[in-house]
Amino acid sequence: MTQEEARLAADRERTAYWKRWGPYLSERQWGTVREDYSPNGTAWDFFPHDHARSRAYRWGEDGIAGISDNHQRLCFALALWNGEDAILKERMFGLTGNQGNHGEDVKEYYFYLDNTPSHSYMKCLYKYPQAAFPYNDLIEENQRRGRLGLEYELIDTGIFAEDRYFDVFVEYAKASPEDILIQISATNRGPEAKTLHLLPTLWFRNTWSWDSSQDKPWLKISQSNSNFSAIEAYDPSLKSRWLYCNGVHELLFTENETNNERLFGVGNASAYVKDGIDNYVVNGQKAAVNPNRIGTKVSAHYELEIGAGETKVLRLRLSDLQNLTEPFGSEFDTVCQQRQREADEFYQRICPFARSQDERNVQRQAFAGMLWSKQYYLYVIYEWLKGDPASPQPPTSRLLGRNHEWIHLYSDDVLSMPDKWEYPWFAAWDLAFHVIPLSMIDPDFAKLQLSRLTREWYMHPNGQLPAYEWAFGDVNPPVHAWAAWQVYQIEQKIYGHGDKKFLERVFQKLLLNFTWWVNRKDFEGKNIFQGGFLGMDNIGVFDRSAQLPTGGYLQQADGTSWMAMYCLDMLTIALELAKDNPTYEDIASKFFEHFLYIADAMNGLGAGEIALWDEEDGFYYDALHLPNGDQSPMKVRSLVGLIPLCAVSILEPEILERFPGFRQRTEWFIENRPDLTKNIACMHKEGVGERRLLAITYPDKLRRILQKMLDATEFFGSYGIRSVSKVHGDHPYILTVDGQQYRVDYEPGESSTGMFGGNSNWRGPVWFPINYLLLESLQKFDHYFGDDFKIECPTGSGQMMTLKEVANELAQRMIQIFVTDASNRRPFNGGTEKFQTDPNWRDLILFNEYFHGDNGAGIGASHQTGWTGLIAKLIQQCGETVNSEQGTGNREQ
């Protein structure tokens, strides 16, 4: 057992709370639904970036490279000033949904370099320009360009010319669960000496302004000498902590309270407010900070002259140890170096396979991004709706507005975020994919995420899972049974044990969710589902979560396929649980029956109905049902028609032998209901090793779909499966309704529509979550068919591959988005030369939301390590495959 695993075990057993402190600070709290108290739900406008430095947050805090305790009572982060900016750099800047030409968009460069699951060692990098930050230029130019133009990025402004910027590295190393060593290293990459103001900042989240019964915490000087100063931080529930600062220039104290005078033109209750330190440093207002050196927010102010190419280092220590006489002695360096070595040891344990150093770098940064993307998430809908005792009442429109039907929701947890700037709120659909790489390194945290989502303070009483903060009532694909089974298997494989209690607990709650789907989303009781949004934003002709302009409703091929997949995942889990409890054998039979009805409905409805399978095209499509009874297939070649591949499961012979009751019931259906089983793979035939197959597509449909999926002129790109066929580049799908044209074109890059804010595009780019599911499905089919089933890959190449080989090919195409090619370039960096060639940039990895369908360039949210972090698992799988084929077993010898 590595030292990191020992720490995780201690935290699990509650003998040491290694996870109490972590990177739980958001990177954007402004512009979120939680902070929005407007009459019409205009979150971006109600709390803009300009207010953030002056206005106390109600529900959370944000900062640069920050940490907090697990209830975000006490926060620490870095602030900077280059002597040119009009404001302190205390938080990441980006464009709001209304300002960006493709939706919200962070306009900073920062990178998560390392992190361990216990957060015993963490490292990140922020690149800070030396010239004035071009806030207005970024806003104005992006708005001028419009949706058809490229985004105007910070590097496009020329601000990094001649390398006139600072690389600021922030590292944390825990000497104990409550003793955190902090090292900040600033390197001047420019050609001449420059001054940099570093302001490590400690503050309390404001809880007292909203409820007068809350005791107010405080910060004050406790020690000061020529070598260091110490600040005591006291909170009634957290008790005392001390921040030791070496060689500090000055300590600046203020209050984390709103500057009402600046924002609203009314008097302040205190002379010292949230932007007091900003006003002191930037504007020279000496009276803006408290001379008595007490408050709820404090910065240690270091003014450093850094020569060209020079690095200067600061050290701080946030600790539960009082009156340390040498907080920065030799022990400091020893602990930092030891934690780095232990991190190396841990990740070598996780991936002991023969991988290139480049791939290991990508995987390590993917894991780092997953862990840095944890965030304390506080959102209590009941309190948010009714308002706070010490604040003005919210508008009455709020009681019937956003999320008012989720009054039970009470989130006070550390959650995995999709992206802590662009999506700093939990999203249930994303979370299902986050837990896959997380379970490799911290299965306890992965399990906790799924358990939280299905608890009664998240799940609606009717069984619906909350979707995401902007609309909890939207519908996401039901992939959480799949995720729970994945987590169970990964923990079993890597750590040698599976957690059946977790599996059973989640399964019981998902039974409620499955029932909600059956009762709410099967419009006519025909096992054809109308999920609506289903996470894939603008993939269709219409906004599928809104009323159709045609009237009527859509029968969704993907919604129905997701439900078939849900059935099979629940069946798989039920059979695993039945090993200890025979009751689950009956439940497994029920899900088998559900699957048959759904699969039959997918492949051929009754007389007068349109099947979702199009025999002429050999593809699945949505079907539009109009109010007058007319029906029409929506012949868009998209992921909608590939999702049916994901409804596949293998039954091993020992399972059927172990559960004869289940086997008898399945055989009864096969013999007595051929109408349900004729068009699908339903255990008719034994595969390799006497395995049985359950699948919607079999085998003719499978071949016909794969011919399109593996066709380079359709879905099969050099970097993965495109979300819409390239065929629609020259032949867009067009539907005219009441003189208005609705269309789907192949758009390999940014979205040209404003649907869902224009912030994501499912009309051409490569998306990791679906690619991962398709890859896994290919592996399952191969497990059944074996080497006898081969298909041309790519279509038209004449090269025949087994489905395992196709899956490996797809994995390699996805991996090559990030690793260097023959020209030493990384495709995700696109045409940005500095990222491609500069030694201080080229090995820094960003994990974008999605990727250009033709050239692999990263697009969308730049830190969506959440589901793009699946790359860590793919690198692992490929290493394992190579080892297996070379006969070296699962581990390096």
Q: Is 644 exposed, middle or buried (0-12, 13-18, 19+ CB in 10 A)?
A: buried
Is residue 768 within 8 Å of 817, Cβ to Cβ?
no
Dihedral of CA 609/615/620/623: which sign?
negative
For position 523, what pLDDT does the model report?
Answer: 65
Instruction: Please state, in angstroms and rounded to a whole number, the distance separating the CA atoms of residues 341 and 262.
Output: 49
Backbone phi and psi for residue 76, each to the nearest 5 degrees, phi listed first? -135, 135
Dmax (CA) of the chain: 89
Task: Give the SS3 label for residue 27.
Answer: coil
pTM: 0.96
Residue type, 314: L
For position 609, what pLDDT does the model report?
Answer: 61
Q: Which residue has the tokens 């609309």?
A: 471
pLDDT digits (tens, 9 = 90+) for 856-869: 999 999 998 889 99
Q: Peptide bond before 674: cis, by omega within 30 degrees of 0?
A: no
pLDDT digits (tens, 9 = 90+) for 389-411: 888 788 888 899 999 999 999 99
CB proximity list for 856: less than 8 A, separation 6 or greater: 717, 718, 719, 766, 816, 817, 827, 828
Q: How many helices (H) and strands (E) does the chain have?
A: 25, 35
DSSP structural state of residue 739: T
For position 759, what pLDDT does the model report?
Answer: 85
| Token duo for residue 211 | 């409820």
> Distance of alpha carbon 484 from its chain centroid, rounded?
17
| Token duo for residue 444 | 């306890």
Torsion on CA atoms 853, 855, 859, 865, rounded to nearest 10:
90
Quick one: angle between helices 500-520 and 480-495, nearest 10? 170
Radius of gyration of the chain (CA): 28
Please identify every stretch of the chain with a pLDDT value under 50, giving residue numbers as ranges. Answer: 606-607, 889-893
Pairing of strands 800-802, 858-859: unpaired
For position 890, what pLDDT does the model report?
Answer: 44
CB proximity list for 531: less than 8 A, separation 6 or greater: 475, 477, 521, 544, 556, 558, 559, 562
Cα–Cα distances in angstroms (integers) from residue 574 to residues 464, 485, 583, 655, 665, in the given order:
21, 10, 9, 12, 15
